[in-house]
Structure 1
């Protein structure tokens, strides 16, 4: 079985290194501010999860105000820990205001995560549903047009039959002195009455 080649992505490696360093800085700051044991390890996890939740909100295409707000809050917490552990702050004597910020961070992170998880654009969806719903009273009345009935087409008469009917009509006029009527013409030709009427109309 041939082993698959391992391909290292420079961007991925850089992201892992940066995340590990930021994670360690947040842990060191939380530990210096009086949060020991598992609590110190929970702080970097909380900050990173809030960053991810805010970034997902920005990429979701919904309302971006909440996403940008909590993304900047989490980014400030991460950058603040990185800068504080760079030698600008004595971690053996953390000031009281920083201890207060670190102690209050769980409540802030919980609030941000809850708002990002449940702040969905439901009003917009509801408005779309309301617009799509049409009450029976406001529905447009549809008028059903009656189908047009085309007049019956007149049967076509062969020219030979018309010529024969003309001779019959002339013979009748010569014998009786009057024009032949449709009933007599039908009887002499032996055709149906509708066809006889058509032939009579062509004789006039």
Structure 2
């Protein structure tokens, strides 16, 4: 029966040790700057996640400028914490400017993470334009023969609008009054104005009065 030996990769061990030390330094600096409790543990996680997101953007080959920008920002934050906890600063008396930087880091990390997650526009050097010789010719589809246009059918005459008898009687009275006053038959426009009806209905009434 074969036994499988577990091989330990020294590179991974070294990376794990370095990550743990950097994590501890970021936690200590955040705690010294007034970010106590769970907030002090969230700072190193935020810095490491921004580093990973920027590194993935650099590996993807798109928007390298944004990837390098946020990678440098996260790297400076990590290195700054390592140097600050090496005895150069008194962690019991953190200067005000460093407290401001630590307090403003969440907004910076949120902005960088959002841009890295949604900015997928390829860079100019990544756009490849195919050569004209490499583009296959598009087949020309046969066009259908044009048929002679059919003669338009004559439109059927519109049916006359039905006119209520009461309206015809009223129109006849208006026409008789107009003939009495003017001595001429009433025209369609005048009848339409006197009755206040649409023009097609006035024409139908005039036809019945004739």
TM-score, normalized by length of structure 1? Answer: 0.60
Deviation readout 1:76-105 (Å, 9 max, x if unpaired): 000000000000000000000000000000
- CA RMSD in angstroms, aligned pairs only: 2.6
Secondary structure (helix, strand or coil) at the match of 2:47 reads helix
Q: How does 1:1-204 map to 2 (within 5 A)?
A: 4-121=4-121, 142=140
Gaps of 5+ in 2: 129-137, 143-210
C-alpha spacing 1:5/1:36, structure 2 compared with 1 (3 Å): same
Q: Which residue of 1 aligns with 2:153?
A: none
Output the TM-score relative to the length of structure 2: 0.58
Give structure 1 regions of 4+ aligned residues with deviation exceeding 4 angstroms.
Answer: none
Q: How far off is 1:41 after superposition?
A: 0.3
Secondary structure class of the residue paired with 1:69: helix
Number of equivalences: 132
**Residue 204 of structure 2: aligned partner:** none
The separation in 2 between residues aligned to 1:123 and 1:18, in whole angstroms, is 33
Gaps of 5+ in 1: 129-139, 145-204
Q: Cα distance 1:4–1:111, how it changes in 2: closer, same or farther (>3 A)?
A: same
Cα distance in 2 for partners of 1:123, 1:67 equals 11
- The verdict on how the C-alpha distance between 1:142 and 1:92 changes in structure 2, with shifts beyond 3 A counting, is same
Distance of aligned partners of 1:105 and 1:5 in 2 relative to their CA distance in 1, 3 Å threshold: same
Distance 1:116 1:37 in 2: 29
